[in-house]
Structure 1
Amino acid sequence: MAEIGLRKRIWGWMAFDWATQPFYTLGLTFIFGPFFAQVSLEYFSTIYADEETAKSSSQATWFWGQTIAGLLIAFTAPLLGAYADNTGRRMPWIWLFAILYLPFTWALWFTDPSGANIYLILLCFNIAFIAAEFMLVFVNAILPSLGDKDEVGKLSGNGASIGYWGGVAALFIMLLVFVNKGDGTTILGNPPALGLDPETSEDFRAVGPFITIWFVIFMVPFFLWVREPRTANRQGGVADAMRDLKQSLIGAYHRKSLLNFLIGSMLYRDALNALYVAGGVYARLVLEWSIMQILVFGIVGAITAAIATQIGGIFDKRLGPKPVIRFCCYILIGVCAIIVGMSRESLFGLVAFADGSAMPDIVFYICGAAIGGAGGAVYAASRSMMVRHTHPERPNEAFGLFALSGKATAFMAPGLIAAFSTVTGNTQLGYIPVIALFILGLYLLRFVNPEGDHAQWSKSAVPLP
């Protein structure tokens, strides 16, 4: 087999973001998430007479599912990463979770519009989510082998940006071809493609097969061009992985910069993921947007994310990832404050909106653009910062710890939102804890070395065949 050049390996690595982003853009945030909120609201409206209680229960159900998935990822990703490092293999794991991912994304097609099977569908969605996150652990671990510490920030930003453009393309296809705008036709004036019946929500349920097919097609460059780093094919078992993981955790405890980064990023990424999950659900339950409005909102956010993430990668290369993360977190704190303080009637109780005013919609469109732009840049910059703390011979384990820091409290933000929504009986107040998580994450970032501790390990990438 001819040797695959670095350029092709980089493009293959970036193809993963393009292939998987529709799951997050269409599934988690802008189509299936809001659709699930609508379906579960129908279900809970048959149980609770009070509309606000039904809404808060719908929101809580979605976030409890995310909470359980986050816990499973948090406690298994580092161990899988350590095991993969011991065996020197990561591609078989990516294949395994790719195969697991496919049937459970397709299963979203079987969502009952009456809400009769919401818990089964929620289970399927979160199994697919877990599979996607596990793939991401091993794909991120390839990043240090693609360039030195001065290049990985730009590579990370470009990869994430390409992913967001994939989300934009997928949203446009769904909007133009499949999703009806309320009158049984798409915005092009045609019935949904493939004979999909809007009366049984087939146009929204089709998001599952769409995500599956998209993934199958666009993962081809990844599997063709990405290769394992040249490492010894060690045959360590689970016991060895547990021992090495324990040593890594002890080592992380004694590395001040790494420890503060892992804990700080754990908090602000948890808050960010909650915003991603919440965007469409908030729009549906608080602002009472149609799915079509949420799709347009998603396009605005995804385009902003694609542009801002690439710009963030440029600033990462010039200034390092830490200033990029800080700036983006300040923007996201402001967005959270608006989410808590805005309804269709007023903003913070100080600015009243007239009946039928478009101002709440305009404000939330701006918030969506900010979430997309700042969120994309902070994700890419955090990935770049982790490379600066990564031992070149243990990248899977390092990014397993990165996944742990991103998921160890992934149950916390959804759980707090679910708890606050349940206790207060108010959808908006459920987002107050997210602000606290961003502030705590920013505080801990003060103790992170902008250059990490990468220099003590290696100044060059791990060689590839």
Structure 2
Amino acid sequence: MTQAFQTAEKPVGKAGIWGWMLFDWAAQPFFTVVTTFIFGPYFVSRLTSDPVSAQAAWSNAATAASIVIALLSPILGSIADRSGSRKPWIGFFAAIKIVSLVLLWQAAPGSPVLLPLVLFSLASIAAEFSIVFNDSMMPTLVAPKDVGRISNTAWGLGYLGGMIVLIAVVLFVAASPETGKTILGGAPLFGLDPAKGEDARITGPVSALWYLLFILPMFFFTPDRQKGEPLRQAVKEGLADLARTWREVRQRRGILHFLIARMIYQDGVNGLLILGGVFAAGMFGWSTMEIGIYGIILNIVAIFGCLVASRLDAALGSKAMIVISLVLLTIATLGIVSTGTGFTAFGLVPLSTDSTGALFGTMAEKVYILYGVLIGLAFGPVQASSRSFLARSISVEEAGRYFGIYALSGRATSFMATLSFSILTGLFASARIGMASLLIFLLAGLILLLRTPYPAGRP
């Protein structure tokens, strides 16, 4: 196998590389405080009076977004290769994401649930499309030996950015609906009323402002490819390129095997990202404050995991890092679904149900957090090393096309994970059984990845 990765002819300065890495810093708060730890659990536990149905509705919204992302990502990536510039596309989808997040403020308790579900779906679609174009810039920035380092470092920066926003929400905004006081004992900033869900609803506008501010370094300092063909011609030629790519990828067996494996295991990863927080909220009745602290713990661990992985990726390779991460995620998911209010390991290990009255006062909650630590260690590396795996196997000229297909591989069947959760949760009235379905995706993807050559390269 030969390695097809190439870099741009002109070296990229530190400001350009840091501008690119700060994209993850800018983008992550949406996934941290809106999707996983604050707004999602708020939607499930406080916006409606039926947590099981709300979990299914949240999952369905994620499913709809995933289908749109899967269908359009390869097309947009191919068009971008022909049009040359990535930044205009990122700017266009950033505007959609920012507006959608600002409007989440309208999701007050008792209000119709359709609007926040639509806005969440639009923000998710715009976020993922922006990521396609940002990721496709990576092969132009550094040498092959450094892609794993900057990919994992960027992901670590993302978790740091998400954690900073999460900490700010937990300490100064999230408050008990009963007392109206934050964990520090004061009133929430800006006079926000937790009884009206304002401490959770504000995460939409805050994430939008954070994103707007911190994508600017990428626009100012990171070099973009020169403008290529006019848009109409780029669309025509891009679609033709995509058709050729589909034929070509079947001949590049290594890349094909990797994309299929990633398609499957990423389903499980996406399911954990989308459903992990709402599952905890449903099981333990955690408030915004408790969910937020849990998220802070996971993000601190995730930053450490990414920093370690940035070095291990260079020493062991991207494939080894993905395998290690998937093993940790499988163990963690098995632990989560085997835990109830008075037991873990499917009842083999009984746990006291007595509560200290403090945060995470029961033993089951503490055990759940320990499993969450494993998730935190693996979340970043499994995704960062996946994109560096592909970056080491393609050329600059085909980056848009292949990262579009890469996005497809991450979303093509991702609705299967959330859909299986929805179906099994509704069928058995048990979110635990729904979460257990994620194990199938993680294990199947791991088995296929073990049979994939690294780097994929050309035949």
Coarse TM-score class (shorter-chain normalised): over 0.9
Aligned position for 2:170:
175
Deviation per residue, 1:157-202 (Å, 9 max, x gap) = 1110111110111111111221114421112222111111222121
Tell me how far apart the structure 1 counterparts of residues 105 and 259 of structure 2 sit (CA, whole Å).
37
Which of 205, 212, 225 is the equivalent residue of 1:209?
205
Q: Separation in 2 of the partners of 1:180 and 1:197?
A: 8
Shift of 1:305: 0.7
Offset of residue 204 of structure 1: 1.4
- Counterpart of 1:227 (choices 223, 239, 242) is 223
Structure 2 distance, partners of 1:162, 1:401, is: 25
Distance 1:176 1:31 in 2: 13
1: distance between equivalents of 2:234 and 2:396? 21
Contact kept, 8 Å, 1:279 with 1:368, in 2: the verdict is: no
Q: CA deviation at 1:288?
A: 1.8
Q: Which residue of 2 aligns with 1:9?
A: 16
Equivalent in the alignment of 1:279: 276
Amino acid at match of 1:406: G
Q: Is the 8 A contact 1:89 1:233 kept in 2?
A: no
Partner of 1:185: 181
Alpha-carbon offset, residue 23 of structure 1: 0.2
Change (3 A) 1:231 1:395: farther
Q: Give me the whole-angstrom Cα distance separating, in 2, the residues matched to 1:125 and 1:234.
A: 32
1:188-233 residue CA offsets vs partner (Å, 9 max, x unmatched): 2221111112221212111111111111221221111122124744
Q: Distance in 1 between matches of 2:12 and 2:80?
A: 24
1:35-114 equivalent positions in 2, closer than 5 A? 35-42=42-49, 44=50, 55-114=51-110
Question: Which stretch shows the higher mean deviation, 376-385 or 192-201?
Answer: 192-201
Whether 1:331 and 2:328 are equivalent positions in the alignment is yes
Unaligned residue ranges in structure 2 (runs of 5+): 1-9, 356-361
Are residue 18 (structure 1) and residue 25 (structure 2) matched? Answer: yes
- Aligned counterparts of 1:345 and 1:81: Cα–Cα separation in 2: 49
Structure 1: segments with no counterpart, 5+ residues: 45-54, 457-465
SS at match of 2:437: helix
Residue equivalent to 1:461? none
Q: Deviations over 1:52-82 (max 9, x none)?
A: xxx3322111101110100000000100000
1:443 matches 2:447? yes
Q: CA deviation at 1:240?
A: 2.0
What is the percent sequence identity of the aligned residues?
34
Secondary structure in structure 2 of the residue aligned to 1:393: helix
Q: Give the count of matched residue pairs.
A: 441
Correspondence for 1:251 = 248
Contact 2:41 2:288 in 1 (8 A): yes
Q: Which amino acid aligns with 1:161?
A: G
Aligned partner letter, 1:353:
L
Whether the aligned pair in 1 keeps the contact of 2:183 and 2:289 (CA below 8 Å) is: no
Q: Distance in 1 between matches of 2:46 and 2:184?
A: 26
Which stretch shows the higher mean deviation, 135-144 or 233-242?
A: 233-242
Give RMSD over aligned pairs: 1.6
**Matched-pair contact (CA < 8 Å) for 1:298–1:368:** no
Larger mean CA deviation between 320-329 and 116-125 belongs to 116-125
Alignment counterpart, residue 424 of structure 2, candidates 420, 423, 428:
420
Q: 2:68 corresponds to which letter in structure 1?
A: L
Paired position in structure 1 for 2:359: none
Distance 1:234 1:314 in 2: 41
State the partner residue of 1:49.
none
Alignment partners' CA distance in 2, 1:217 and 1:427: 37
